[in-house]
Chains A and B, each alone.
Chain A
Amino acid sequence: SQQGEEDPQALSIQEGENATMNCSYKTSINNLQWYRQNSGRGLVHLILIRSNEREKHSGRLRVTLDTSKKSSSLLITASRAADTASYFCATDSNYQLIWGAGTKLIIKP
């Protein structure tokens, strides 16, 4: 079943700007993960945030988690053309990884 929902479905920004994507989910989770998928390729893990964490950083990525609102956000700072991809969130819940439909991010030069 599709639990996560990413918002927006598509996002187009200028290179150098920040990109923010959101993910909402429905059930309690152990952790939430963000992945990137380049066109025609497999998914690549970006970052994992546990249910007892509120914020996590990795390079230009910042992830927040609000378990009371059942939502997470992924911020990419100082975007680059290479960040053009689809971004998926996945929640670890009840021994399953449940995926959202993804946000397509386009970085314009």
Chain B
Amino acid sequence: DTAVSQTPKYLVTQMGNDKSIKCEQNLGHDTMYWYKQDSKKFLKIMFSYNNKELIINETVPNRFSPKSPDKAHLNLHINSLELGDSAVYFCASSRMDRTYTEAFFGQGTRLTVV
């Protein structure tokens, strides 16, 4: 059973398109995240959702928007894709118990904008 699953695994698209990446967790966690890992392997948090409320919103372009239909899902929508958006995007989840417990990651979505 996959704990955190995200789709698609690979996404190649043209500049200017709008795309979505889906994420689902079956761990019953109350917090989900989206991370971006660039070519230098820096892992940067983009969004964090706790109980369907955005609690951290890093300074990412507003072309990126998280959508959480329920506690088990956090999808990432990207509008007007740019070349610089090419990266690997990871979804993760954890349980928030006063402090953060271990985070479980999806396998990543490699986005290539051409």
Secondary structure at chain B's binding surface: helix, strand, loop or mixed? strand
- For B33, B102, B105, which residue has the most chain A Cβ atoms within 10 angstroms? B102
Q: Which of under 10, 10 to 19, 20 to 34, or 35 or more describes the interface residues of B?
A: 20 to 34
Interface size on A, residues (CB 8 A): 24
Interface residues of B in 41-79 (CB under 8 A from A): 41-45, 48, 55-56
Interchain nearest-CB distance for B56 vs A (Å):
6
- Whether B101 lies near A48 (C-beta < 8 A) is yes
- Whether B43 lies near A88 (C-beta < 8 A) is yes
Q: A30-B100, A95-B55 are known contacts. Are A2 and B105 too (CB-CB below 8 A)? A: no
Interchain nearest-CB distance for B13 vs A (Å):
20
A residues whose Cβ falls under 8 Å from a Cβ of B: 2, 30-31, 33, 35, 40-45, 48, 86, 88, 90, 92, 95-99, 101-102, 104
B residues whose Cβ falls under 8 Å from a Cβ of A: 4, 33, 40-45, 48, 55-56, 90, 92, 94, 98-108
